[in-house]
Amino acid sequence: MVIVAVFVVVVGLGGAFYTFYNAKGFSYLSSNSAACNNCHVMNEVYDDWNKSSHREVATCSDCHLPHEFIRKWIAKAQSGIGHAYAFTFDKNLPMHFSASKKTQEIVQENCINCHLPYVQNVVNPTLRPEHQDKSLKCVSCHQGVGHSRGF
Interacting residues with other proteins (CB under 8 A) = 1-2, 4-5, 8-9, 11-12, 15-16, 18-19, 22-23, 40-41, 43, 88, 93-96, 98, 143, 149-151
Q: How far is CA 32 from CA 51, 59, 91, in A?
A: 16, 7, 27
Maximum Cα interatomic distance, the chain, rounded to a whole number of Å? 72
Nearest distance, CB of residue 113 and other proteins, angstroms: 24
- Between 2 and 70, CB nearer to other proteins: 2
Residue closer to other proteins (CB basis): 19 or 113: 19
Q: What is the SS3 assignment for 134?
A: coil
The CB-of-140 to other proteins minimum distance in angstroms stands at 10
In the complex, least distance from residue 15 CB atom to other proteins, rounded to whole angstroms: 4
Least distance from C-beta 11 to other proteins, angstroms?
6
Contacts of 44 (CB under 8 A, 6+ apart): 147, 149
Rounded CA separation 57/40 (Å):
23
